[in-house]
Amino acid sequence: MDATFNTAASVIHPLQASCMGTANSLWIKRDDLIHPIVSGNKWRKLKYNILLAQSQGKTRLLTFGGAYSNHLLATACAGATFHLRTLAFVRGHEDFSNHYLRTAALFGMKLIKVSREDYRDKEGLLQRHFPEMENLLVIPEGGESPEAETGIAEIIAEIPEDIDLIVHASATATTATGLCRGIAEMHRKHKVLSIAVLKNAAEQRTKLEDKGFAAIADIMEGYELGGYAKTNEELMQFCRSFIRETGILIDPVYTGKALFTLKEMITRKVIPPDQKILFLHTGGSMGIFSEKFLGQTTNHH
């Protein structure tokens, strides 16, 4: 199964960029290179869900997401790859012609538009649309599931033991808890710094505490810039500088916001300079290809 989604492509290399500040030994793990569409943590999260579907003889995957969900897109492409039909409930009615949903549809995903109100009641949606549930594996929003954690935990075996701190963009804390599980299972000493990209740090922290991982991972809050997908000129400028200096695509919603926060913490010495840091690139590079981001990027002289 890894022939298509090659986790060996997720190399680790030094991260040299003056826009990051230079105090620490800084490395990056390139989960964004696993696949151009099913990238980063979305492949890690889907892997065991797909194996589950196959072992149970399911022929369809059903999931949920917003109009700019990396998870929807990843599910659409992975479904096509493994010959599983894909369906998704998409939240809200505005902007259904964006490049995310068009690409998901290209992979054959059936998109079912539902109002924000209906979207909240996922059980109700399932019962109304799929009373039989036959041949259907339901994957929760964002891929959040025990199978997802199992897939994420595998990352730890690919990380050198002498890394002190693993840093990543965090939204549902599934990646965070999966990393912690891997660390606990492998008796590693790494700590995890999960940077909240939306204003739900308390909720994320509760998930870590409930699973007994509060001593391994920390949720960083205060750098959300107002909330999910909210940006400012400084963040946008940082993303552009980073991309130009490294050739690595980052997006302002997830990895760019997390790297920007990491840069701030390094510069302010919130992270001690002797810490060996590994940034986990969780993918999501499709987020750059939007008018909002590219529209402001010009190179005319």
Q: Which residues bind ligand PLP (CB under 6 A)?
A: 40-42, 70, 142, 169-175, 254-255, 282-284
Using Cβ positions, the residue closest to ligand PLP within the complex turns out to be 284
- Dihedral sign computed on CA atoms, order 63, 64, 67, 69: negative
Tokens of 281: 């690139």
Helix (H) or strand (E) holding 13: strand 12-14
User: Crossing angle, helix 174-185 and helix 41-55, to 10 degrees?
Assistant: 80
Spatial contact of 188 and 165, defined as CB atoms under 8 Å apart: no
Name the minimum Å distance from CB 133 to ligand PLP.
25
Closest CB to ligand PLP among residues 25, 230:
230
**Which of residues 89 and 279 has its CB atom nearest to ligand PLP in the complex?**
279
Helices 233-246 and 255-267, interaxial angle, to 10°?
90
Least CB distance to ligand PLP at residue 299 (A): 26
Residue 112's Cβ-count burial label (10 Å; 0-12, 13-18, 19+) is middle
Nearer to ligand PLP, 62 or 196 (CB): 196
Q: Please tell me the distance from the alpha carbon of residue 43 to that of residue 52, in angstroms, as a whole number.
A: 14
Minimum Å distance from CB 281 to ligand PLP? 8
Nearest to 79 by CA among 126, 43, 128, 131: 43
Nearest distance in Å: CB 181, ligand PLP: 13
Question: Nearest distance from residue 74's CB to ligand PLP, in Å?
Answer: 8
CB-side exposure of 216: number of CA atoms within 13 Å?
24
Cβ distance to ligand PLP smaller for residue 130 or 211 = 211
Q: Which C-beta is closer to ligand PLP: that of 58 or that of 174?
A: 174
Instruction: Report the distance separating Cα 163 and Cα 266, nearest Å.
Output: 16
Q: Closer CB to ligand PLP, residue 40 or residue 66?
A: 40
Of the candidates 234, 270, 273, 277, the residue with the CA atom closest to the CA atom of residue 252: 234
CA dihedral 263, 269, 272, 277 (to 10 degrees): 0
Residue whose CB is less far from ligand PLP, 111 or 171 = 171
Minimum distance from residue 292 beta carbon to ligand PLP (Å): 16
CB of 274 to ligand PLP, least distance (A): 27
**Residue 100, Cα to own-chain centre: how many angstroms?**
15
Residue linked to tokens 């799929």: 130
Nearest-CA neighbor of 292 among 256, 259, 252?
252
Q: Which residue, 58 or 277, has its beta carbon nearer to ligand PLP?
A: 277
Q: How far is the CB of 113 from ligand PLP (least distance, A)?
A: 21
